[in-house]
Amino acid sequence: MHDQDATGEHGLAVTVGLLLLIGTALLISCWTGPVAAFVLIATPVLGAYALPCLFRALALRRAVRRLLR
């Protein structure tokens, strides 16, 4: 029963997050235009997706450099 509660809470959190993202995108689109709204919304979303991989790659490069010295 606990797993179903956690799954339901996770689904609710994702739904609320998407609604906030869509609402913010619509408001920004009304205020600044569609291109600026896309850039303002896509930048943090892509950053949250790409930055952890980038940080891991940079840390790996740094570790390899230290080992090679």
Is residue 16 scored above 70 in pLDDT?
yes
**Is pLDDT of 1 > 60?**
no
- Give the chain's domain count: 1
Among residues 69, 11, 21, the alpha carbon closest in space to that of 42 is found at: 21
**Is the pTM higher than 0.75?**
no
Q: Where are the alpha helices (DSSP H) in 1-69?
A: 2-32, 34-68
**pLDDT on residue 10:** 82
Q: Which domain holds residue 60?
A: 2-68
Q: Are 24 and 41 in contact (CB under 8 A)?
A: yes
The Cβ of residue 67 has, within 10 Å, a number of other Cβ atoms equal to 7
CA distance 41 to 4: 32
